[in-house]
């Protein structure tokens, strides 16, 4: 993986690292890691706080041909050790002692593929199932960086702001984008709307990546985008038409992203006027039905595709079929080669013989004045097969939203119960934790 000079500039708090200063720090990390026993082909767990330390270790490890596996810094010890076993990791970085702790004897350490070591391992969000770990090689993360930089006009003179955790793919890939183009990268240790608003102006940021709740918080704060801002990349979950409309009115230059941990983030872009119709990036292949057929799970092939899901022996190919990755996302491919998404396969349920999209119902609920966010859960029903429960945030009373549903939603799409919550439960990635939400709904309804 080769990147052009002048490399990149890292800005974290009051610290600005560039040129020889940054090179010396990377050289120091590389020498330290090597002296403590790290070898090419090995995997090292690193906490994602502080973000600057993780960024420096990532650059040093990748230079050595070793893979970095960032994890959430507050993760329980048992869960961290479970991840290490799943990936067959040899080392863990201890920030308190600034040293490595051995996790195995390293006897199986070898490149994932004969010609390519691992560069980055990222745990999937697990928003609706068991999380897994995607393994990416240098060519994959390099391709992801170059393709997205070209699509987002971030190849020359860009300044990225990263307020996403580097233990999630949407955050981790920003480091590689900045590295590929020699950009400035402003690193924040977590999201604060006030801090993001200040740094957008202070550092004349051109590109920032957000999940929808972050965008909503900035709008609620009354923050206006500075003239330098060219792109607000919004992803991680579906962007509701209502929030897209509010962002456009407030002047935010949003682009909607489609991607996942397995594809090293971004593979397609949509405009805010139709946030479910995507144009694939160059080199991305999508296999899905034509628009005359029912939507079906999409299969993807891309130069940024993972090498496979992690396993203790780090064999490549797990989760792939002949180089293709079959997603759980339902979609069509239009005659023009664009991709229309209809939500996930597990977002569909059958009620009285009619297939209902939970995503579509949730988007309809979120468009109602007085509703700021909405999700829909399907519970089993012995007669109808399933019944819907709408869960939402906002000032609108449950009775008023129920009246709106009676007047505007067809019978199978109409929630049989509505629950208003102060906040929706979320995963560390910012996505709604649907498993937790289902448990909350069952508890409140006495099931």
CA distance 416 to 389: 6
CATH at 400? 3.30.300.30
Tens digit of each residue's pLDDT (9 = 90 or more) over 407-434: 999 888 999 999 999 999 988 777 888 8
Question: Would residue 411 count as lying in a domain?
Answer: yes
22 and 46 co-located in one domain: yes
Cα–Cα dist 15/113, whole Å: 38
Q: Is residue 278 part of a domain?
A: yes
Q: Let me know if residue 2 belongs to a domain.
A: no
Mean pLDDT across the stretch 341-367?
86
User: Is residue 379 one of the residues assigned to a domain?
Assistant: yes
End residue of a domain, out of 283, 314, 341? 341
Average pLDDT (144-159) is 96
- State the sign of the Cα–Cα–Cα–Cα dihedral 111, 299, 145, 92: negative
The number of folded domains in the chain is 2
Domain-embedded: residue 346: no
In a domain, 4, yes or no: no
pTM comes to 0.85
pLDDT > 90 in the chain, percent? 72
Instruction: Tell me the pLDDT tens digit for each residue of 363-376.
Output: 899 999 999 999 99
Pairing of β 15-17 and β 43-47? unpaired
Q: What is the CATH number of the domain that holds 152?
A: 3.40.50.12780
Mean pLDDT for the chain overall: 91
| 372 and 311 housed in the same domain | no
* Pairing label, strands 254-260, 15-17: unpaired
Instruction: Inform me whether the pLDDT recorded for 262 exceeds 90.
Output: yes
pLDDT at 104 over 80: no
Same domain, 424 and 300: no
- Please write the tens of the pLDDT for every residue from 299-340: 999 999 999 999 998 999 999 999 999 999 999 999 899 999
Report the C-alpha gap between 358 and 390 in whole angstroms. Answer: 9
Q: Which tokens belong to 175?
A: 């480091």
Q: Are residues 20 and 124 in the same domain?
A: yes
Q: Is the pLDDT of residue 141 over 80?
A: yes
Query: 105 pLDDT band (50/70/90 cuts)?
Result: low
**Counting Cβ atoms within 10 Å, is residue 95 exposed (0-12), middle (13-18) or buried (19+)?**
middle
For residue 53, being part of any structural domain is answered with: yes
Q: How far is CA 346 from CA 154, 261, 419, 434, in A?
A: 35, 18, 21, 11
Render the burial of 382-419: b for 16+ CB within 10 Å, e for the rest. eebbbbbbbbbbbebeeeebbebbeeebeebbbbbbbb
Residue labelled with tokens 């206006």? 224
Place of tokens 């920030």: 95
318, 341, 364: which is the final residue of a domain? Answer: 341
Question: 288 and 365 in one domain?
Answer: no
Q: What's residue 308's pLDDT?
A: 96
Composition of the chain by helix, strand, coil, percent to 5: 30, 30, 40
Inter-CA distances, 411 with 90, 94, 415, Å = 55, 56, 9
- Residues 223, 370 within the same domain: no
What average pLDDT score do residues 351-367 get?
Answer: 87
Residue among 147, 151, 144, 155 at smallest CA distance from 182: 155
The three-class DSSP label of residue 314 is coil
Mean pLDDT of 268-279: 93
Kindly indicate the confidence band of residue 100, based on its pLDDT and cuts at 50, 70 and 90.
very high
Last residue of a domain, one of 341, 371, 390: 341
Q: What is the pLDDT of residue 434?
A: 87
Whether residue 435 is contained in a domain is answered as yes
Same domain, 375 and 269: no
Domain that holds residue 372: 352-444
In terms of domains, do 420 and 313 share one? no
Q: Are 245 and 327 within one domain?
A: yes
What pLDDT sits at residue 6? 44
Is the domain of 230 the same as that of 334? yes
Q: Express each pLDDT in 205-256 by its tens digit.
A: 999 999 988 999 999 999 999 999 999 999 988 787 878 889 999 999 999 9
Burial class (CB in 10 A: 0-12, 13-18, 19+), 297: middle
Which of the four pLDDT bands, split at 50, 70 and 90, describes residue 127? low
The Cα 407–Cα 424 span in angstroms is 26
Same domain, 142 and 185: yes
Q: How far apart are the first and last CA of the chain?
A: 53
Same domain, 370 and 414: yes
């Amino acid at each position: 993986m080769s990147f052009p000079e002048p490399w990149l500039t890292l800005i974290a708090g009051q610290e600005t690292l560039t040129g020889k200063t940054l090179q010396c720090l990377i050289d120091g990390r590389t020498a330290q890691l090597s002296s403590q026993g790290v070898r090419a082909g090995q995997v090292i767990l690193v906490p994602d706080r502080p973000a600057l330390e993780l960024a420096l270790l990532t650059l040093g490890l990748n230079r050595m041909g070793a893979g970095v596996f960032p994890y959430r810094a507050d993760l329980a010890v048992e869960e961290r050790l479970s991840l290490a076993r799943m990936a067959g990791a040899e080392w863990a970085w201890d920030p308190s002692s600034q040293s490595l702790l051995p996790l195995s004897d390293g006897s199986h350490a070898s490149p994932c593929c004969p010609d390519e070591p691992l560069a980055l391992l990222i745990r999937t969000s697990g928003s609706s199932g068991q999380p897994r770990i995607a393994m990416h090689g240098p060519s994959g993360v390099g391709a992801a960086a170059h393709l997205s930089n070209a699509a987002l006009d971030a190849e020359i003179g860009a300044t990225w702001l990263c307020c996403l955790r580097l233990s999630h793919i949407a955050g981790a890939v920003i480091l590689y984008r900045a590295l590929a183009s020699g950009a400035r990268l402003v690193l924040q240790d977590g999201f604060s709307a006030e801090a993001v608003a200040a740094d957008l102006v202070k550092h004349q940021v051109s590109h920032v990546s957000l999940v929808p709740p972050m965008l909503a918080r900035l709008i609620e704060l009354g923050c206006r985008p500075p003239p330098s801002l060219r792109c607000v990349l919004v992803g991680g979950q579906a962007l509701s038409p209502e929030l897209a409309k509010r962002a456009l009115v407030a002047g935010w230059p949003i682009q909607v992203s489609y991607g996942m941990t397995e594809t090293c983030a971004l593979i397609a872009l949509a405009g805010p006027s139709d946030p479910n119709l995507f144009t694939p990036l160059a080199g991305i292949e999508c296999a899905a039905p034509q628009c005359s057929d029912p939507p079906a799970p999409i299969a993807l092939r891309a130069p940024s595709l993972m090498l496979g899901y992690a396993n203790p022996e780090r064999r490549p190919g797990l989760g792939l079929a002949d180089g293709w990755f079959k997603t759980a996302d339902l979609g069509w491919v239009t005659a023009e080669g664009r991709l229309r998404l209809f939500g996930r396969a597990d977002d569909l349920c059958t009620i009285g013989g009619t297939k209902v999209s939970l995503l579509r119902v949730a988007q309809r609920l979120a468009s109602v004045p007085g509703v700021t966010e909405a999700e829909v859960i399907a519970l089993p029903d012995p007669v109808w097969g399933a019944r819907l429960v709408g869960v939402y945030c906002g000032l609108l009373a449950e009775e008023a939203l129920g009246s709106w549903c009676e007047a505007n939603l067809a019978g199978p799409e109409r929630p049989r119960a509505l629950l208003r919550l102060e906040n929706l439960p979320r995963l560390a990635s910012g996505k709604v934790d649907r498993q937790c939400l289902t448990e909350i709904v069952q508890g409140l309804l006495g099931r």
